[in-house]
Structure 1
Amino acid sequence: MALNGINMPLAFTGQEIIWRKVYLSLGLTEKEVDEFFTGPAFLAWGRMGNIHTWGGPLSSNWMNEQYSLQLKILKRMRSLGMITVLPAFAGHIPSSLLRVFPKACVTRLGGWSNFNCTYSCSFVLDPEDPLFQRIGGLFMSKLIQEYGTDHVYNADTFNEMTPTSSDPSYLSAVSNAIFKSMVNVDPGAIWMLQGWLFVNNPTFWRPAQIKALLHGTPIGRIIVLDLFAETIPVYQYTESFYGQPFIWCMLHNFGGNHGLFGKVESVNKGPFDALSFTNSTMIGTGLTPEGIEQNDMIYELMNEIGWRSKPVNLTVWISDYSDRRYGQKHPYARAAWQLLLGSVYNCTQDWKDHNHSPLVRRPCLNMNTNICYNKTDLYAAWKLMHQAGTSLANSSTFLYDLVDVTREAMQLLVTEYYQEIKTAYKNEDLERVMTAGGLLVYDLLPELDNLLSSQSQFLLGRWLESAQKMASTKDEAILYDMNARNQITLWGPTGNILDYANKQLGGLIQDYYKKRWRLFLWYLVESLNTEVPFQQSKFNQAVFTVEKGFTYNGKTYSSTPTGDTIAIARNIFIKYFPKK
């Protein structure tokens, strides 16, 4: 991060041990505290008050390890001159706190994103309740005592949750209470606020409501993250956040999905447009992805823009990028990147949750197959990467990109097979359903699994092993394994945000996506054979057994890549490259 010029990173690790001390000191039992925290894979949403409990509990070992890790993180960040952003109290409390303080004034927000109140429905303390300042002060004091401070704190009360009142005076009181709980302990505190709530719920957050929330704190004491500015820049319709400073952020990726994607024109020009905006309060650029281990190019471009005084020449920049990435000026690689720049990385639509590929969605007969680019450009780039393989085979970055581009092309081929299956089913052509479905399930998907398994960054075993290594006991390892599996598949106990954080990994294709497609094909064939219309609800019940089974089966997957990437990719190219 430091080498890329990032100087104000979030430092959220190790906060649960502080919360635990605060709630125990207020009279909660250890069991009540443990039941409040989510598991490790879902902490981001637990910390924002969206969900609680699911995937937990967190062990004492986990909290102690995270505490030690946070000390190392902070020491390193500060030694590099970074301003660390620590968490603060946003008003969310465990419901069990009402046992100790039955007269506390709270509001109960509705369930979040298909979760019922077993795991959602947050309790938020009224800003005027004296307990608000007591809890906020206790947390800040203990936090600073343990971790020191650089005086910037993050808190988000209404992230993807609708306040109980739209009265501007109430919203001002909430932000004032949050800020007050900071400055009572640290008089120099600055509040960093995510601007996502304004994007997520624009019907609630009208100008009066936004201004009230932002003006509950003195001008200059809130820094707003314009979180999704490459697609929906909020500063444009809020008069530059009504005078509060903001950071122009590229969100880019929802869920850490694999899938080539970017908005290079917006990233290249957007920050400069924001700087020249009337009475602009922009103070910097930032990155806010939900998952960063994908699409390296777009992050490198965004980081570089922060050092520029004007937009770059993208045509020149992408050729230079190819040279740097592979260590040589290779004409095929350069040409491939020019095509990628103008297609997958030049989406001009408002494209949220952008990987709509049928490959990584629960199959049905009305799947969204839209893409944000001309697929012939992607196929042409694939061919060029294939041709570059002979001379770039010793470049680890090239091998990664070869797999990634081939994976993207195969994702398109899955869509083509799906459309053929769908059309054949509609025409009651059983033979064609079985032929297209058989090629998809028994040839293309296994080939894709083999390709992904040849590079360590695309291994399910690596993902799961990383989670299990954090455990100190067998039971802990089982819990962390479940967390890691559930996040990338069901995302919740019943598929609450099904496939939201989908990944394309060797092992996951074979044992999750392939099994779902095989079952879907079986249901379609059965429907045609029996002349009974396909019923999505019955299929959903059956496929949930497959999905849940994967989450809990405990199967071990290798974290070591297998096979020759170049040879596997060549075989796939020869077999599947479109002949038209």
Structure 2
Amino acid sequence: MNINKIIGGVLLLVLVSCGSKNNGYISSATTDYEKAAYALLQQLLPDHQNQVVFKEAGAADGKDFFEISHIDGKVLIEGNNAIAFSSGLNWYLKNYCNAQISINNHQLQLPDQLPAVKIKQRVETPFDYRYFFNYCTYGYTMPWWNWERWEKMIDYMALMGVNMPLAMIGQEAVWQEVFTELGMSPEQIQDFFVGPAHLPWGWMGNIDGLGGPLPENWILQRKDLQKKILKRMRDLGMKPVLQAFTGHVPEALKTLYPSANIFQIEDWAGIPGTWFLDPTDSLFQKIGTTFIKKQTEIYGTDHLYDADCFIEVDPPSSDPKFLAEVSRNVYRSMANADPEATWVLQGWFFFFKKQFWTPERGRAFLGAIPKNKVIVLDLYGEKNPTWDKTEAFYGQPWVWNVICNEDQKVNMSGDLAVMQANFTAAYNSEINNNLKGIGVIPEGLGYNPVIQDFIFEKAWDQSVVDIDKWIADYATRRYGAENEKALAAWKGLLQTVYSRTRTMWSPLITTPRPIRFEGAKEDIRHQRATFKITEEDPYAWDYQPRQLAKAAALLLESADQLGHLDTYRFDLTNVYRELVSSLTHKFINELTAAYQERNTDRFEKAAAALQKMLLDLDDITGTNEHFLLGKWLQDAKSWATNEEEAAYYEWNARTIVTIWQPWKEGYLRDYAGKQWNGLFKGYYLPRWQLLIEHMRKALAEGNDIDPKKFDMEVRSMDYDWTRGHDEYPSAPTDDIVKVAKRISKEYESYFDW
């Protein structure tokens, strides 16, 4: 007789006899992990919660696992923690219900009775760690999230199998206590803190005071939010990564501790260098240990701490002995407060500053940390993996990741075939050595859900898949039906936007300027091959827009069957935004060519086409809540307790997505530019209209535009916009199917539809 069946049957009898339909399962769960999993189930599948049973079981080899079977008409999911339960539930929904869990919208059209599992299935992951988030995500995507939004994200992570999320919120409350104990005044502390959306770059030691001071209410609210986040993560079985001391300190500390070796590092992105305390200084141990202790008092600990001393700057010395002393002392400051501490270290600097980090220096730095007391995150696995250039991080444990998205660019990109090839190479080479995990470290989230689905699936199934078949299965689950045109559309997306590793920096949403595309190249962050406008290729884009146009048309033709689905409507918005955006180089090139040839008729037609494109992009993005500037601003102001705070949060929210640095002469302006409704019409269009007016006047007077004068005017315009309060829609204002049909008709000549 099957003992599992007996146990499961007894458990089911208990569950059925308990309380109300809504909380009976939770109250009768026998372990904390079961309770957490039932809470997730109740949120996700309220109409089917009585058809799923969770049962905790030990992992024989310490690896997370789940088993799925059927017992007495119920789906039984066994596993060693709530992450395993949740991952098993997601696996079941994908493979038995043709459903999809996704980062923005789920597709959960389920039958009244969940399908039976005829053969028991067991799945185990070889990875100890499944990592998620980037420091930048907390600035470009999540600065304004409330608890309701965070709860959905945490449940999504559990369903994906994430067990090692970066959890950075609420640090300022800890630092207040630490700095106060060190003798700093409230004013000195406030001068150090940066603005809400800029906090990640303060945490990473890139900036001081920019966008501050922080309202005290913000610090208190974020402290409360972090406690809720950490509780939910830990209830499910996650081990969140908290902060450790990197050496970054306020300049004011120099006055209080004049004998301490506090020095200014090199400038970052045109911003004066911040101040760092030498890790070999005795004060470093005092601050580092105090920070960990106070953080643990407030938030608890899972013994994982992130500390990145040199993200995008060189250390003050290249001496391997010094570098070894740095890492040794950084780790010691953690271990003095927490003997179980493990240092989680972003390996980005090994790539970004590869000229500095020679094997000798890298070996010295990592080798000085006790073996297995550090976990290195290889961030850029889809394009520039570092493990194979550092002897797999010189023998220390590491995690393979993809970035996929820089500064939350609103795009569709990510070469699935390359990702799989790079992952497979790392997995086959290192899984029996020191490869311990897999993860996703995007600077921004929300516009490429297929990437997260693809990578996190590898946590549970490392086999090499047929990408064409995988994308077809993905599309079927995404829409809950085998729609032939939708499947063909996704095949087209795979051959275009998802055959490029990263997207291009769009000149449409950066500071306007005349450009002839005759062989330009971009900088290190956005490398691409030489490109030019030709008769054969009138787009100069990094895929073939005509192919994307065919895919877009096929997706639109699926509207009668799929138009009611949130997943479909999001995809249709994203695809048509991407399609129209692909005309950027063509339209700017045409405007520039007409201007240079002094052809006023051609110039006016080109100017009208470019301005219409911006307005049409505003219309497209206005159809979906995930593309709205108004929603971003509304969420920012929701943290305010008075009008002054609301104005401050709005200013910070406007600044980070436009000029970035809050002054007219900023260096990072447009770096985090978004393709959002409201920005197209309210911010990008007026800038282009200003340039067009300068060009039009120059044509009329027989002169050339004055680039310095234009630059001063556009910078002033941008700066003033960040301090404005004009309203933008915070909810969709039109129907994407209707808008897409209009766009298809009006733009057919550009794509030979």
- Report what 1:277 is aligned to: 429
- Report what 2:345 is aligned to: 193
Matched, 1:489 2:658: yes
1:153-552 equivalences in 2 (<5 Å): 153-277=305-429, 280-347=433-500, 351=502, 354-366=503-515, 371-441=541-611, 443-493=612-662, 494=664, 495-552=666-723
Task: Return the offset for 1:280.
Answer: 4.0
- Report what 1:49 is aligned to: 205
Cα distance between partner residues in 1 of 2:552 and 2:347: 38
Conserved 8 A contact 2:190-2:213 = yes
What code does the residue aligned with 1:378 have?
Answer: L
Query: Do the aligned partners of residues 511 and 280 (structure 1) sit closer, same or farther apart at CA in structure 2, a change above 3 Å counting?
Result: same
Task: Return the offset for 1:385.
Answer: 1.6
Conserved 8 A contact 1:7-1:82 = yes
- Structure 2 unmatched runs, 5+: 1-156, 521-530, 532-539
- Report what 1:572 is aligned to: 743
- Report what 1:81 is aligned to: 237
Task: Return the offset for 1:360.
Answer: 1.2
Conserved 8 A contact 2:479-2:568 = yes
Matched residue SS, 1:224:
strand
Task: Return the offset for 1:395.
Answer: 1.1
Conserved 8 A contact 1:257-1:355 = no
What code does the residue aligned with 1:570 have?
Answer: K
Conserved 8 A contact 1:93-1:123 = yes
Cα distance between partner residues in 2 of 1:54 and 1:566: 42
1:67-106 equivalences in 2 (<5 Å): 67-106=223-262
What code does the residue aligned with 1:357 have?
Answer: S
Runs of 4+ in 1 over 3 A off after TM superposition: 366-371
Cα distance between partner residues in 1 of 2:548 and 2:353: 35
Task: Return the offset for 1:255.
Answer: 0.5
Task: Return the offset for 1:512.
Answer: 0.5
Structure 1 or 2, whichever has the larger Rg, is 2
CA RMSD of aligned residues (A): 1.4
Matched, 1:33 2:189: yes
- Report what 2:298 is aligned to: 146
Task: Return the offset for 1:372.
Answer: 2.6
Matched residue SS, 2:165:
coil
Task: Say which of 524, 545, 562 aligns to 2:733.
Answer: 562
Task: Return the offset for 1:335.
Answer: 0.6
1:310-334 Cα shifts (integer Å, max 9, x gaps): 1221111111111111121111111
Task: Say which of 169, 183, 193 aligns to 1:13.
Answer: 169
1:45-87 Cα shifts (integer Å, max 9, x gaps): 0001001111111111111111111111111001100011110
Cα distance between partner residues in 1 of 2:567 and 2:349: 37
Matched residue SS, 1:16:
helix
Task: Return the offset for 1:558.
Answer: 2.3
Matched residue SS, 2:345:
strand
Conserved 8 A contact 1:240-1:280 = no
What code does the residue aligned with 1:361 have?
Answer: T
Matched residue SS, 1:373:
coil
Conserved 8 A contact 1:490-1:548 = yes
Task: Return the offset for 1:272.
Answer: 2.0
> Percent same amino acid among aligned pairs?
38
1:443-477 Cα shifts (integer Å, max 9, x gaps): 22222212211211111110111111011121111
Conserved 8 A contact 1:195-1:227 = yes
Conserved 8 A contact 1:249-1:288 = yes
Cα distance between partner residues in 2 of 1:134 and 1:320: 55
- Structure 1 unmatched runs, 5+: none
What code does the residue aligned with 2:372 have?
Answer: G
Conserved 8 A contact 1:107-1:164 = no
Cα distance between partner residues in 1 of 2:357 and 2:541: 30
Cα distance between partner residues in 2 of 1:535 and 1:212: 53
| More moved, 240-249 vs 320-329 | 320-329
The TM-score, its normalising length taken from structure 1, stands at 0.96
Cα distance between partner residues in 2 of 1:371 and 1:2: 37
What code does the residue aligned with 2:474 have?
Answer: Y
Matched residue SS, 2:461:
coil
Task: Return the offset for 1:569.
Answer: 1.3
1:212-232 Cα shifts (integer Å, max 9, x gaps): 111120121110000111111
- Report what 2:109 is aligned to: none
Conserved 8 A contact 2:504-2:542 = no
What code does the residue aligned with 2:452 have?
Answer: Y
Task: Return the offset for 1:531.
Answer: 2.1
The TM-score, its normalising length taken from structure 2, stands at 0.74
Matched residue SS, 1:225:
strand
Task: Return the offset for 1:579.
Answer: 5.2
Task: Say which of 205, 211, 214 aligns to 1:58.
Answer: 214
Cα distance between partner residues in 1 of 2:541 and 2:336: 51
Conserved 8 A contact 1:8-1:82 = yes
Task: Say which of 163, 179, 182 aligns to 1:23.
Answer: 179
What code does the residue aligned with 1:27 have?
Answer: G
